[in-house]
Chain A
Amino acid sequence: DTAVSQTPKYLVTQMGNDKSIKCEQNLGHDTMYWYKQDSKKFLKIMFSYNNKELIINETVPNRFSPKSPDKAHLNLHINSLELGDSAVYFCASSQYRRSESQGQFFGPGTRLTVL
């Protein structure tokens, strides 16, 4: 059974289009995340939700809008796609514990290419 799954795995689209990436986790975790990995493999957090509540919102353009219908799902919608949005997007999940940081479980990634 896949712990954290993302769809689609690959996404090729034209500039100006709107697209969504879906993420689901079956680990029973309460916190989910979106990360962006650029062409130099640098990873940066974008958003985090805890039990459907937005907790982390880094300096991401407002063309990016996360949505969490329930604690097992966190989707990412991107409006008016730009060339610079081309990257690999990773979803992750963890169980939040105030007393100790837990590792996060990552999905396989979605490679977005904007032409």
Chain B
Amino acid sequence: AQSVTQLDSHVSVSEGTPVLLRCNYSSSYSPSLFWYVQHPNKGLQLLLKYTSAATLVKGINGFEAEFKKSETSFHLTKPSAHMSDAAEYFCVVSEGIQGAQKLVFGQGTRLTINP
């Protein structure tokens, strides 16, 4: 079975400084990986996805993630944090099943932005 581990339950940064949210995955084959964001009392929004094309993936709102097979990692970064980035972030791996896509979620990382 595939799984993801988010290494930090809470990350706090100052506005304008870089953001790093860490995720390691476990997969027996080349995985499909995603990052989702959930703002307070909202649904989940897809930030970006990796599906074995370019290892550096660019997403919305200035976020990007790099797939590193040797480290089994898929960390999410942003050069400069904005107050609106405060939210819960989920690293997700997809298990392929005939007819559907089973998403397996990490535990989430709460990102706090300090003014």
Contact = CB atoms under 8 A, between A and B. Distances in A.
B25 interface: no
B103 A104 contact: yes
B102 A45 contact: yes
Contacts of B42: 108-109
Measured as residues with beta carbon below 8 angstroms from the partner, the interface class of chain B is 20 to 34
A100 interface: yes
Interface in A61-115: 90, 92, 94, 96, 98, 100-109
Interface residues of A, number: 29
B92 to A, nearest CB: 9
Given A41-B88, A101-B51, A90 B44 contact: yes
Contacts of B49: 101-103
Contacts, number: 70
B102 to A, nearest CB: 6
- The majority secondary structure among interface residues of chain B is strand
A31 interface: yes
B40 to A, nearest CB: 11
Contacts of A105: 46
Contacts of B36: 106
A23 to B, nearest CB: 12
A53 interface: yes
Contact of A53 (B88, B99, B103): B99
Contacts of B100: 31, 33, 48, 50, 55-56, 96
Contacts of A106: 36, 43-45
A50 B46 CA distance: 21
Given A31-B101, A55-B99, A55-B100, A101 B45 contact: no
A79 to B, nearest CB: 25
Contacts of A90: 43-44
Contacts of B38: 41
14 contacts: A40-B107, A41-B38, A42-B105, A53-B99, A55-B100, A56-B100, A56-B102, A96-B100, A101-B32, A101-B51, A101-B96, A101-B101, A106-B36, A108-B43
